[in-house]
Chains A and B, each alone.
Chain A
Amino acid sequence: MELKNPVMTASGTFGYGLEFADFVNLEDIGGIIVKGTTLEPRQGNPYPRMAETPKGMLNCVGLQNKGVDYFCEHIYPTIRDIKTNMIVNVSGSSPADYAECAARIDALDRIPAIELNISCPNVRQGGMAFGVTAEGAASVVKAVRKAYHKTLIVKLSPNVTDVCEIARAVEAEGADSVSLINTLMGMAIDAEKRKRVLSIGTGGLSGPCVKPVALRMVYQVARAVKIPVVGLGGIMSATDAVEFLLAGASAVEIGTANFIDPAITVKVAQGINDYLDCHGFASVHDIIGTVE
């Protein structure tokens, strides 16, 4: 899969892209990773699903989506002609589930890649359960690799002791790329009400407050695997994105920042070019992983 620029949107923060069509030219974005999709429809968790935090937010949406068949029949036709890489984020509750969902998306000719979400902290089954052990992660990737023949990106969880071990395990099973980080598991408490704020008690932390953790993990993983790494977590500006590229990411994703500035993606893409020009680099390849 080729990207016209290294900026993609993070799953769950950009809908199917169309929600942002009034604010950005979608075709100026390197790739759009759409909402988490599962084999069966899911209602997600009850409201409230979010809480603001210093420099970030918690969410426990819980993979609400109408299921892969609905996606193929009703959503795919509306996004297939957007001229950029439309990538589907896939989740499941068993390796067989993931594989079946991936197989149905394999049949869609305008979807060049999927991103396997083995790192969602907001659903009891599946999601993060697979992403926190090397064996679990490997079992999902192994099953999906048999069923899916295009570019396979595996999204890693930061809620682990050794992210490199998991990255190596998914690389060994044939992942084409890894992306990280998904959200960090957190909690918000309302002192007045003496209650936890989110409906399921915990949620995933995102936004600029997670950036240092994400940068460190991207740096480590980029040195542990040979496949390309996609970096994300708290990117709010072109400088943030450049930091991820320097740490070893070949591309970046922008998530929560879309809520603050719906046109942030194209601004970051332009800002990366300005950085390259300003520092005399011919292409983004010249800076990937070059941090001292």
Chain B
Amino acid sequence: MSVERLHERYVLLRATNPAGPLPEMRPGQFAQLRADLAPNTFLRRPISINFVDVTANEVWFLIQTVGEGSRSFARLQTGDMLNAVLPLGNGFTLPATSAERVLLVGGGVGTAPLLYMGSQMLAMGCRPTFLLGARSKGDLLQMEAFQRLGDVFVTTEDGTAGERGFVTQHSVLRERQFDRISTCGPKPMMVAVARFAKSAGIACEVSLENMMACGVGACLCCVEDTQEGHVCVCKEGPVFNMEDLKWQI
């Protein structure tokens, strides 16, 4: 596994499987990770699949250091072992045709799964539009990779890059038409995006980050309240159609 420090608060882990080819993974799915020698945490941490490089037999994870779990990943050195259970959950809906106009909206480290989503879409001949929000310029990650896949629009809260403000204030939402939005990021951002999508009559799916223990639908710790009652985010999600949730939008 190799470790690249993108910024003081973000690391990119590129992991390979020494035992053979990695399983097939869909964009929006996640892995349950554990750093061996992580003495201060107990449970695994769910981390989105950021990118899959099939030729190199690599899966990438983009991690923001928040607390002990993410710090244990940031402390890893190139060559260390990363213990991963993957792929888990259901992914984003891939476009039905190459003509579908899909907007991928990411906030903070929630941009992570959108890179893989964008690359899979492009491989199908469907060019995505990205709308990425961050606090500041330095929090915008993997920008060149995004730009290679589609049109990229940016907002920062402090105005150091792109338009100043939140993603839902970006002019691209008024200037272009979309058939579908897929979003991942902080909950208040996703609620705002879902609200915009609903008012504009656009289908919208959101990727939730509920805290997890097992990651496989066994413990029922990660539930989200939906139209069908409590369902496991790890198994039925993490991606949900906004209509299925009980959010006030």
CB distance B218 to A13 under 8 Å? yes
Q: What residues on A are CB-neighbors of B85 within 8 Å? A: 23, 262
- The answer to whether B42 and A56 touch across the interface, beta carbons within 8 angstroms, is yes
Of A23, A44, A57, A259, which is within 8 A of B220 by CB?
Answer: A44
Contact yes or no, B214 A61, CB < 8 A: no
Check if A25 is an interface residue, CB within 8 A of chain B.
no
A59 within 8 A of B: yes
A15 in contact with B217 (CB, 8 Å): yes
A89–chain B nearest beta-carbon distance, Å: 13
Q: Is the CB of B214 within 8 A of A52?
A: no
- A-contacting 9-mer, from B125-133, B134-142, B195-203, B224-232: B224-232
> Chain B: interface secondary structure?
loop
A59's partner among B34, B41, B219, B235 (CB-CB below 8 A) is: B219
Residue of A nearest to B221 (CB): A50
- B211: CB under 8 A from chain A? yes
Q: How large is the interface on A (under 10, 10 to 19, 20 to 34, 35 or more residues)?
A: 20 to 34
B225 and A46 form a contact (CB under 8 A): yes
Are B213 and A47 within 8 A (Cβ)? Answer: no
Q: Is the interface of A mostly helix, strand, loop or mixed?
A: loop
- Give the interface size bracket for B toward A: 20 to 34
Q: How far is the CB of B245 from chain A (nearest CB, A)?
A: 12
Asked if B249 is an interface residue, CB under 8 A from chain A, the answer is no
Among B41, B44, B225, B235, the residue within 8 A (CB) of A259 is B44
Instruction: List A contacts of B44 (CB < 8 A).
Output: 259-260
Residues of A within 8 A of B220 (CB): 12, 35, 44, 49, 61, 64
Query: A258: CB under 8 A from chain B?
Result: yes
The interface residues of chain B lying within 8 Å CB-to-CB of A47 are 210, 222-225, 230
Q: Which of B34, B41, B214 contacts A13 (CB 8 A)?
A: B214
B-side contacts of A64, CB under 8 Å: 220, 223, 230
Q: Which residues of B contact A44 (CB under 8 A)?
A: 220, 223, 230
Q: Which of B42, B215, B218, B225 contacts A207 (CB 8 A)?
A: B42
Distance to closest chain B CB from A94 (angstroms): 24
Measured between beta carbons, the chain B residues less than 8 angstroms from A53 are: 42
Q: Indicate if A77 sits at the interface (CB-CB under 8 A).
A: no
Q: In the bound complex, do residue B43 and residue A13 qualify as a contact, i.e. CB atoms below 8 Å apart? A: no
On chain B, the residues within 8 Å of A52 by CB distance are: 41-43
> Is the C-beta of A292 less than 8 angstroms from some C-beta in chain B?
no
Q: Which residues of B contact A43 (CB under 8 A)?
A: 229-230
Bound-state Cα–Cα, A55 to B211, Å = 17
Q: List 11 A-B contacts (CB under 8 A).
A: A12-B220, A13-B218, A15-B219, A19-B235, A47-B210, A50-B222, A52-B43, A57-B42, A59-B219, A61-B221, A64-B223
Given contacts A13-B214, A262-B85, 19 further A-B contacts (CB under 8 A): A15-B218, A19-B217, A19-B235, A20-B216, A47-B223, A49-B222, A49-B223, A50-B221, A52-B41, A52-B42, A52-B43, A57-B43, A57-B213, A64-B220, A64-B223, A207-B42, A259-B213, A259-B214, A260-B34
Residues of A within 8 A of B (CB): 12-15, 19-20, 23, 35, 43-44, 46-50, 52-57, 59, 61, 64, 207, 256, 258-260, 262
